[in-house]
Amino acid sequence: MKTTKLYSSQKKLGAKMIEFFGWEMPVEFSGIIEEHMAVRTKAGLFDVSHMGEILISGKQALDFVQYLTPNNAARLTPDKAQYTALTTPKGTFIDDMLVYCLDEDKYLCVVNAANSDKDYEWILSHKSDFDVSVENQSDSYTQLALQGREAEAILQSLTGINLEGMKTFKTARGSVAGVGALVSRTGYTGEDGFEIYTQSENPEKIWDALLEEGKTRGLLPIGLGARDTLRLEATLMLYGNDIDETTTVLEAGLGWLVKFKKGDFLGREVLLKQKEEGLRRKIVGFEILGRGIARPHYSVFINGEKVSEVNSGSYSPYLKKSIGLTYLPIEHTEEGTELDVEIRGHLVKAKVIALPFYKRDY
Amino acid sequence: MYPEEYHYTKDHEWIKVENDEVVVGITDFAQKQLGDVVYVELPQVGAVFEFHQSLGVIESVKAVSDIYSPLSGEVIAINEELDGSPEMVNEDPHGKGWIIRLKLRDETEIEKLMSVSDYERFLEGLED
């Protein structure tokens, strides 16, 4: 199994480890609920070095990224990142990802750990005439996420980068705890926060310094367990649960990142047709009204008829109820629609509620 | 850590014998494996269970886990406080986090259970 450069630092902190797509990663430190609430109320530090990094560079790098993705990469400048996707010709997901413009002709795609090899092959297989080179740099990057309302204050004391005026999705390069890094105001929790990338051989210097600096501000190390509950409350999609090669970008409620006017890209035709004709199904959020917790793949019924399966489903530590996502036929997607979710042989009442489940108030 | 006078199963349950009744809970090892418990589904008082039949479910944030009946018998009480405070299973697994009380059908079944030293050896084996 692969481990990140922070493996021993995390073991020392008492991390409970699990296998996650070939990686041995921390699932929890002090407990999912405590970690979850620390991020919602103070701050949390995540090692997400299992994520993949694929560099696209060369004269036609921008044209190539534009062809592969539905968002408008032409709006990227070397101080910006963008949420986007790798789409199939059917408008469905190979993956969702962040793209960072590192330089005029250099774009770094940050992709899901589970997909990084598949994505690399996909990108290579579409390279054909584009004058670009593609490099899978996943093994050289350490990625940390510092999330929560205290994140700015904690990080600011360890870097010369001016964070105060840094807007969401802006990026900057600088030194963090004496280590060269790329910092972006991004995250996967629904809170304010930063993601920190470094190719240093000593990333534990950043990890240790952040934990030390954050001590007085309630910062905790966070595992993949709370990462999942945090992102679900914030309604951020998880590849393999909520989006995959069978769901289109529009069905997933991510129409905002599809920029039809930018020109051609993989899946444009299908997505445009889908937009014009209207969706037949789309993702909705629901809450369980009865007892029990909706888990992935549980059956969803309307008026006794099975209409879908649960995509993501979990107990929500912040809202203290069971929530989930599922794709419903468009006529049943209105807020308040009554559903039944089959939990261990029993139908339990649920209803469609507004998304996102959680939105920060600062 | 593990009370001397309790009996244990390979499903990580503990059993405290009181005459022809037993109190059942999950062990500290089990609650650590599960993580934060958020919901415990229990049977009705009066329900009868065979040895190793599923008598309820514990849900943590991440996982669903069956609770198996460690012995044959009838449910004579459930821990109703777990409804509002499921976290007691994490906080005091061998005490206030008890789950169910059974009236035994066959007291000789107790002999099949592990002693505390057997259970601790069993746990050591799992860690290898």
d(CA A181, CA A52): 16
Cβ separation B59–A32 shorter than 8 A: no
The yes-or-no answer to whether A7-49+141-233 and A280-362 have a common fold is no
Query: Is 90 exceeded by the pLDDT of residue B110?
Result: yes
Q: How far is CA A196 from CA A71, A209, A215, A268, B64, in A?
A: 23, 13, 19, 32, 34
Looking at domain A52-129, what is its CATH homologous superfamily?
Aminomethyltransferase beta-barrel domains (3.30.70.1400)
Domain boundaries, chain A: 7-49+141-233, 52-129, 280-362
Low-confidence ranges of chain A (pLDDT < 50): none
How confident is the model at residue B126, as a pLDDT? Answer: 86
Helix (H) or strand (E) holding A53: strand A52-57
Query: Is 80 exceeded by the pLDDT of residue B127?
Result: no
CATH code for the structural domain at A7-49+141-233: 3.30.1360.120
Residues of chain B contacting residue A292, judged by C-beta atoms under 8 Å apart = 39, 41, 59
Cβ separation B57–A293 shorter than 8 A: no
Query: Is 80 exceeded by the pLDDT of residue B128?
Result: no
| Minimum CA–CA partner of A18 in chain B | B33
Cβ separation A293–B41 shorter than 8 A: no
The pLDDT tens digits for B58-102 are 999 989 999 999 999 999 999 999 999 999 999 999 999 999 999
Asked if residues A312 and A296 have their Cβ atoms less than 8 Å apart, the reply is: yes
Closest among A67, A65, A146 to A100, alpha carbons compared? A65
Domains and CATH numbers, chain B: 7-127 (2.40.50.100)
Cβ separation A317–B61 shorter than 8 A: yes
pTM as predicted = 0.95
A291 at the B interface (CB within 8 A)?
A: yes
A27 at the B interface (CB within 8 A)?
A: yes
Tokens representing A45?
């530090």
Fold of the A280-362 domain: Elongation Factor Tu (Ef-tu); domain 3 (2.40.30)
Residue B39 Cα, gap to closest chain A Cα (Å): 7
